[in-house]
Amino acid sequence: MAKKYNCRPEEVRCEGCQTIDVSGWSHEARWGKNCAILKCLNDRKLRFCCECAEYEMCQKFEEIATLSSELGTDLRENLRMIKEGKVEEWLLKEDQKWRCPRCGNPIINSNEHKTCHWCGQKLRN
């Protein structure tokens, strides 16, 4: 991916919500290294949005939650599980959800990718 998007490999993975966002590296104003969510968390010395008293009303969170829901991810449910201490259960669920049903390799969570880049299997919508 780093080669494809002309960036360093360490720029491919956001260290905030752990989302791989192929359009958001250092050249972007708001994603990747410039992620508004990650900057907010760092400024408040928090690890997750659900630790913030204002997160239910946060426009930054709402924006990324809406985008994520279009890709099949419910960020509020994810944060609920994390907050309840169900991190291992959540990680297992997400690991199973984002694997190719044919080859079992990880798939990219994106509207752009309709097939598994490992084996060519058509993926769910």
DSSP symbol at 17: S
Q: What is the pLDDT of residue 20?
A: 46
Number of domains composing the chain: 1
Side chain identity, residue 27: H
| Ranges under pLDDT 50 in the chain | 15-16, 18-22, 24
Residue 118 resides in a domain = no
Residue 115 resides in a domain = no
Residue 51 resides in a domain = yes
The structure's pTM equals 0.67
Residue 81 resides in a domain = yes
Report helix, strand and coil shares of the chain as percent, to nearest 5: 40, 5, 55
Structure tokens at 10: 């360490």
Residue 3 resides in a domain = no
- Distance of CA 82 to CAs 4, 33, 86, 107, Å? 33, 24, 5, 22
Domain that holds residue 60: 9-85
Q: What is the pLDDT of residue 19?
A: 47
Q: What is the pLDDT of residue 112?
A: 76
